[in-house]
Every structure is written in structure tokens, then in C-alpha cells.
Structure 1
């Protein structure tokens, strides 16, 4: 089986995708798989999938044109097998607003949301404004007034945004592989906010796993991450993010293709189940043999 690891792309998360793809490719080669890397750019975003030879596309792509169902749909048309979630599950999970509606419908607690038409009725602050289909905390604003909300929406341009209550609490994340919750990490950003810099700058955040929180909260996070993965019809690896306030566990979003470098969150928490980085990449491809 020849495996092509597709990485890069044209989203704002391109550099993270390149790191993810490199780590995955090295892992596959280390295990003896016939694998090679394909770096996607604006110029070859379509042709790379048509002109290369492969039996399985290992998708190491983050953000738009990679994690939002469009590439998955292309591969479906081409009749090619690929890792991760389907076109529909990828598209739905990429949209934070749609994902929140589904989460609420199955009893998962989420922060209160607002439409653009409802912002003038907001009386309690802070409020979070963020793009509905971006990741890595890119374009995230913490607003303390109506004027700041309006400015954040304006700065987002024509992008769909998520507008929700800012929940003060501990940042939690749960990795899931094929429906199995791996464990809970508590994230401790040194600047108080888990933004892009805190995620990708070495030493800017501390990670506690297993998270030293109550058994009740731990179990809720584990259960709801698996539930989101299941109800959205996701496959392979996902990562759900939560905020813990007291004993309340608020679901924020789910990633259908989370970062997979040797120091990323999912590989960290997978060690709680005894899985190595190589175990994770192997699990992603072995079902296609």
C-alpha cells in the first residue's frame, strides 16, 4: 500500500500542517510503510491529488481546503481512500456554530451564543468573537463592550463568526481515536489565554495530564468528547476543547484533524492509554489494509 501524506495547503494554519505532515511521514517511514510526502500550494491544490500515485491519502491538513470537507469530497469523486473523517463530518465539525447546535441537541453544555442581530441585547461581558471556520485561535477577540464586538465583527470581514459568552475557567482538551476517549489535558497558558502564541510558542503553556480535576468533571469531558465524535459521524482522530468552570464543563469546538507533531496535545494525552506516536499513525492506516 502506497501512502501519500498531504500537508501544507492554503489555510492560515499552513505552517502547522507542514509540521504535522513531516512528523506523520517520519513515523510511517520509521514503521516500514511505503510513504512519501506531498506539499500542497495554491498552484497544485487540485492537481496534486490527481497526478500523484497512491492507494491512501493521509490527510495532515488543517483549516479551510483541508479540514472542511472540500478535499474529502474531491477524494470521494476520485475514488481514493483517505484518513480521518468523511466529507460531511469534516464540513459540519469545521463550522463552530453548526457543531454547537448539534452539541446542544444531544445535551452537551455550551456557552450561550448570539447572532449578529442579537448583540445589541448583550448586557454581560466579556464576549468572545471568533471566525466560525478557522482554527488555532486565529482571529479570536475578547470583547468588553458592544463597540469592541462591532469592531471584532468588522475586522472579521465577510467571514462567518461565532459570538458567545466568555467562560472564565480552566482550558481542557480531550483526544479521541475511533470513538475512544484518550484522556483529559488541562492547559495552563502563561498569559492567561490559550491563543495562537500560547499554542505554538515553546514554554508559553503548561500541560497537565491527566488533568487534576474532579472525577465528575473528568468523566463528563471524556464522555462528551466521545459523544461529539460519534454524533457528528467522525472517524480517525478528533480533539474536543472544553472550559471547566466549577463543575460545569462547557464544550467549545471539535477538530477533525488536530495537530500531530511529537509535542501536540493528542499524542501527549494518548500516552495515558499507552499509545505511542507510532501507534496513533498506525491506527489511522491499518484499517485500510
Structure 2
């Protein structure tokens, strides 16, 4: 079986994708798989899927067309096997607003969303892109003027209530939660891009030392979202814990696999190494 690891792309998360992709490729080759890497360029995202030979496309693409279902649709048309969620689940999970609506419909608490600037009646609020990850373009706004400035620079913005609390994340692999991790940013009040991807930018506490009932609730919420959206393989749901309540923020259909990423940490709670996770993904999607 020949495996092509697709990475890069056109989104603001391209550099993270390259780091994740190279880590996955290194693991595959170390484990004896016939694998090679393909970097998607901004102006050449379709031809690599047509021109290269592979039995399984291992997708390590974050944001943009790699995570919104468009490239998954191409692979479906080609009849190629690929890792991760399919077209519909990818498209829905990429839209933070739509995902929150679905989460709320199955009984999961979410921060309030404001459709118009004029409707904001509490501060601070968060302004962020509705369809980007890695905390790219995230703004904490304390007044209307700051909101207006943020909305002008953020593409497809979503405005939501800023709930200050403990940052939690839960990984799910093949419909089962791996565990709960608490994120403690070192230099920032919020888990921003630098906190995520700079080595030492945050402390990862896993398993999270929180109330057992809340731990189980976060696990269940992540599984429920994964299953309700029809996600496949690995997903990662982010939450805020405040006043003994869990609030869902977003779910990632293609979580990072870098040296500072959260899924590899969470996998250890089930006894899995990084190589184990990569192998399980291959075994799941090559059938």
C-alpha cells in the first residue's frame, strides 16, 4: 500500500500543516510504510491528487479547502481512500456558528453569539473568523469601537460572548474520547496562536485535574458532537469550564500533529504513542 501524506495548502494554518504533515510522514516511514509527502501549493491544490500515485491519501491539512470538505469531495469523485471526516462533516465542523447551533440542539451549552454589533449587550466579546482554526484572527474586544475594528479586519467574523474560565480540550478517536486536557497559557490570558505553537507557550495538564463529573461531561460532549456531525477518525473539541459548567467552543476535524499539539498528549492517556495514533488512522481508513 502506497500512502501519500498531503500537507500545506492555502490557509493561514499552512505552516502548522507542514509541521504536522512532516511529523506524520516521519512516523509512517519509521514504521515501514511506503509513504511520501506532497505539499499542496496555493495555486496548485487539485492536480497533486490527480497526478500522483497512492492507495491512501493521509490528509494533514488544517483550515481552508483541506478542512472544509472541498478536497474531500475531489477524493470522493476520484474514488480514492482518505483519512478523516468526509465532505459533509468537514464542511459543517468548519463553520463555527453552524456547529454551535447543532451542539446546542443536542443539549450542550455554548457561548452566546451576536448576529449584529448593535445587539451586543455584554463585554468582553470574542471576534474571530467563522471558518479558521488555530486561534488565527482572534480578538478580545472590550467595547463597541474595538469590535468594529476587529470586524473590519477579520474575514467572515463571528461575534460571541467571552467566557473567561479554564480552557479544556478533548480528543476523540473512532467515536471514543481519549481524555480531557487542561490548557494553561503561560504568557497570555487566552489560548492564542503563540500559546498553541511556540514550544513552552502553554502548560498541558493531562489528565485535567478537574471535578470528575465535569471531566466525564466534557468527554461525553466531545463524543456526542463527533457522532452527531458524522465525523470520522480523529476530532478535537475545545471547551471553556466556568462555575461548574462546560461550554462548547468548536470542533476540529483535522487536529494538529506537531510536537506541541494536543492529540498526541491526549493519546497517551489511553496508552498510545504518536506512532500508534498514526498507525490506527492508517488501519481505520485503508480497509
Structure 2 Cα separation of the partners of residues 269 and 46 of structure 1: 33
**Residue 242 of structure 2: aligned partner:** 245
Structure 1 Cα separation of the partners of residues 189 and 159 of structure 2: 20
Structure 2 Cα separation of the partners of residues 104 and 43 of structure 1: 38
Aligned to 1:84, what secondary structure does the other structure show? coil
- Which sits farther off after the overlay, 132-141 or 159-168? 159-168
Structure 1 Cα separation of the partners of residues 98 and 152 of structure 2: 22
Aligned to 1:188, what secondary structure does the other structure show? strand
Contact 1:262–1:277 under 8 Å retained in 2: no
Q: Which runs of 5 or more residues in structure 1 are unaligned?
A: none
**Residue 125 of structure 1: aligned partner:** 123
Structure 1 Cα separation of the partners of residues 163 and 247 of structure 2: 8
Deviation at 1:66, TM superposition (A): 0.4
Structure 2 Cα separation of the partners of residues 8 and 151 of structure 1: 30
The Cα offsets for residues 192-220 of structure 1, whole Å up to 9 and x where unpaired, read as: 21100111111121110000110111011
Of the three residues 262, 265, 287, the one matched with 2:262 is 265
Aligned to 1:258, what secondary structure does the other structure show? coil
Give the alignment's TM-score, normalised by structure 1. Answer: 0.97
**Residue 105 of structure 2: aligned partner:** 105
Contact 2:185–2:195 under 8 Å retained in 1: yes
**Residue 168 of structure 2: aligned partner:** 172
Deviation at 1:151, TM superposition (A): 1.4
Deviation at 1:78, TM superposition (A): 1.0
**Residue 2 of structure 1: aligned partner:** 2
Structure 1 Cα separation of the partners of residues 232 and 209 of structure 2: 28
Q: Find out whether 1:89 has 2:86 as its counterpart.
A: no
Deviation at 1:42, TM superposition (A): 2.0
Aligned to 1:65, what secondary structure does the other structure show? helix
Aligned to 1:35, what secondary structure does the other structure show? strand
Aligned to 2:123, what secondary structure does the other structure show? coil
Structure 1 Cα separation of the partners of residues 15 and 67 of structure 2: 15
Q: How many residues align?
A: 285
What's the C-alpha RMSD, in Å, of the aligned pairs?
0.9
**Residue 142 of structure 2: aligned partner:** 144
**Residue 181 of structure 1: aligned partner:** 177
The Cα offsets for residues 134-190 of structure 1, whole Å up to 9 and x where unpaired, read as: 01111111111112111111112xx32211100010000001101110001100001
**Residue 217 of structure 1: aligned partner:** 214
Deviation at 1:122, TM superposition (A): 2.0
Q: Which runs of 5 or more residues in structure 2 are unaligned?
A: none
Deviation at 1:261, TM superposition (A): 2.1
Structure 2 Cα separation of the partners of residues 33 and 167 of structure 1: 45
Q: Kindly report which structure 2 residues correspond to 1:27-38, keeping only aligned pairs within 5 A, or say none.
A: 27-38=27-38
